């Protein structure tokens, strides 16, 4: 866990910016789905710092791969960098859950079937809507892929 002096938030911002500028291929692929409210009209941010504990002189934080503040939903892609870190990831998820954030973990190999991943994210979004509000079908946000037509599957640009 990093302890960063409170005045060094600029360093956190620079770290997140560096991660955005050096995305993995898996992050790039999922970002094409999530960006510009492209998935179910919810805004996702990528490589977004999430603070979970603050003191006068320092903060503890994680940088989420993708974060939606409306749904309090974090999407984490687990690739090679997560191998052998199950305990760390589990502890991290627990800390984030204690702050009311839901963490959805997706393995990089699952992205070979992007439409299945979209379905998993859709289910997670629907569950969050139920958890966070008095769910009424008339008031629910539209779950249509904005800009890609009703019911159309996402097409990988490489195809």
CATH number for the domain spanning 64: value is 3.40.960.10
Domain count, the chain: 1
Residues of the chain with pLDDT > 70, as a percent, come to 72
77 located within any domain:
yes
103 located within any domain:
yes
pLDDT tens for each residue of 2-28:
444 333 577 788 888 889 899 999 999
155 located within any domain:
no
> Between the CA of residue 138 and those of 4, 95, 130, 134, 147, what are the distances in Å?
45, 34, 13, 11, 22
Q: What is the pLDDT, as a whole number, of residue 28?
A: 95
Q: What is the pLDDT, as a whole number, of residue 83?
A: 67
44 located within any domain:
yes
120 located within any domain:
yes
The mean pLDDT of the chain is 78
pLDDT tens for each residue of 92-105:
899 899 889 999 99
68-85: average pLDDT = 83
55 located within any domain:
yes
| Domain boundaries, position 9 | 4-139
Task: State how far the Cα of 137 lies from the Cα of 14, in Å rounded to an integer.
Answer: 41
- Cβ distance 103 to 93 under 8 Å? yes
| Residue with the larger pLDDT of the pair 157 and 123 | 123
pLDDT tens for each residue of 29-61:
999 999 998 878 899 999 998 877 766 666 778
157 located within any domain:
no
25 located within any domain:
yes
- The whole-model pTM stands at 0.75
């Amino acid at each position: 866990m990093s302890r960063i002096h409170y005045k060094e938030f600029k360093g956190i911002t620079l770290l997140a910016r560096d991660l955005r500028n050096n995305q993995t291929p898996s992050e790039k692929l999922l970002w094409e789905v999530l960006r510009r409210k492209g998935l179910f009209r919810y805004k996702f941010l990528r490589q977004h710092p999430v603070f979970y504990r603050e003191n006068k002189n320092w903060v503890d934080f994680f940088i989420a791969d993708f974060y939606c503040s409306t749904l309090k939903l974090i999407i984490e892609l687990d690739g090679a960098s997560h191998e052998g870190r199950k305990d760390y990831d589990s502890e991290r998820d627990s800390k984030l859950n204690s702050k009311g954030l839901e963490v959805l973990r997706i393995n990089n190999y699952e992205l070979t079937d992007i439409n299945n991943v979209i379905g998993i994210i859709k289910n997670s979004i629907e569950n969050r809507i139920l958890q966070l509000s008095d769910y009424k079908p008339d008031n629910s946000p539209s779950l249509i892929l904005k800009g890609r037509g009703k019911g159309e599957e996402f097409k990988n640009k490489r195809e």
